[in-house]
Amino acid sequence: GQQLNQSPQSMFIQEGEDVSMNCTSSSIFNTWLWYKQDPGEGPVLLIALYKAGELTSNGRLTAQFGITRKDSFLNISASIPSDVGIYFCAGQPLSGTYKYIFGTGTRLKVLA
């Protein structure tokens, strides 16, 4: 099955630093979603993007729907220890079915 290319796969950062991650695809998507997953839990929706070029914030998180509709970016400002977890992107293709394609995840570790 198709998967998105999400990078980086993992990153260690110092508390207070800003974090950037992205997802790219060879296909056009009409929706991008960003999730955070803690160990042993289900993914929790962080930000939903529905329009090319859209920039949306949720507290210290900001995500953008790429203008080409083939990529999306998530930024976390001033990271804190509870930001630790796995971040997934998901895109909905233009195929007309209610299916999402998921990235392989970015594992974030914050050093206090």
Partner 1 sequence: DGGITQSPKYLFRKEGQNVTLSCEQNLNHDAMYWYRQDPGQGLRLIYYSQIVNDFQKGDIAEGYSVSREKKESFPLTVTSAQKNPTAFYLCASLATGYNQPQHFGDGTRLSIL
CA angle 87, 100, 78 (to 5 degrees): 20
How many whole angstroms from its chain centre is CA 2? 17
Secondary structure class of 52 (helix, strand, coil): coil
Which residue in 19, 21, 33, 76 binds partner 1 (CB under 8 A)?
Answer: 33
Residue type, 63: A
Site membership for partner 1, residue 44 (CB under 8 A):
yes
Site membership for partner 1, residue 31 (CB under 8 A):
yes
Structure token pair of residue 4: 């998105």
Which residue in 63, 88, 108, 110 binds partner 1 (CB under 8 A)?
Answer: 88
Site membership for partner 1, residue 91 (CB under 8 A):
no
Structure token pair of residue 70: 């083939």
Site membership for partner 1, residue 29 (CB under 8 A):
no
User: Residues in the site for partner 1, rule: CB under 8 A?
Assistant: 1, 3-4, 6, 31, 33, 35, 40-45, 48, 50, 88, 90, 97-100, 102-105
